[in-house]
Structure 1
Amino acid sequence: MSERTVITFGTFDVFHVGHVRMLKRAAEHGDRLVVGVSADALNVRKKGRAPVFTEDERMEIVSSLKVVDEVFLEESLEQKRDYIVQHGAQVLVMGDDWAGKFDWVSDVCDVVYLPRTPSVSTTGLIEHISTLA
């Protein structure tokens, strides 16, 4: 039986327990977990702001986790299918805030949307920290 590869994507800025839980649950869908970390420029296009930590720092954080087997830089949302095929993924796992948005790749892999950790978000953390300053 061949190895089942799972792929997921995210910014993973201001890394928190919600990120850890999502990556652990994603890893449970296969034997190998590949993570695309959003490039700084992609994050600006997606969210309208630069991340707190650089893409290199975020990739280092994510790659240090024992559930993660490989990390690469995601430079374009439109290249999801290419990334999936390039990394030989059979499963795409995303947070349910993206529910339905990646069904268009279901012809090349299974698509799974996981519930987010309640009351934990990077945006919320950044806003909370800024009120403390």
Structure 2
Amino acid sequence: MFSKSRILIFLLAAFMLAIALPVMAQDTGDDVADLETIEITISGTVEFIVAVDGTTVVTVGGVVVTASGTFNPMGLIPGSYVEITGVLQDDNSIMVISVNFMPEETETPEPEETETPEPEETETPEP
């Protein structure tokens, strides 16, 4: 037969397991926190779009850019080419962290072919 101490140990282990499993199964919300801090970098031309209600929306490369505590997108110049780093928001806009103004990408011209002149023979003078 089982001794009292073995039964007591078994019941204590079962009790601890019964408490631990529901605690371990609870969602900590860490997955949501990770999604809220997705950092993204885009580059493109700055555009201002005036909505029907009169509000102005700033886009870069077709993506809506929103203000942060240190940056107001209304300070961007329409038509300028920028690279923006920011945090992706729930509405797929980007809250700006940093802005780099860049020269607009241009095509590199093809080099033109030029003739190399032939060398001329000359006599070396005697000393």
TM-score (norm 2): 0.20
Between structures 1 and 2, the one with greater strand share: 2
Higher relative contact order (CA 8 A, sep 6+): 1
TM-score (norm 1): 0.19
Between structures 1 and 2, the one with greater helix share: 1
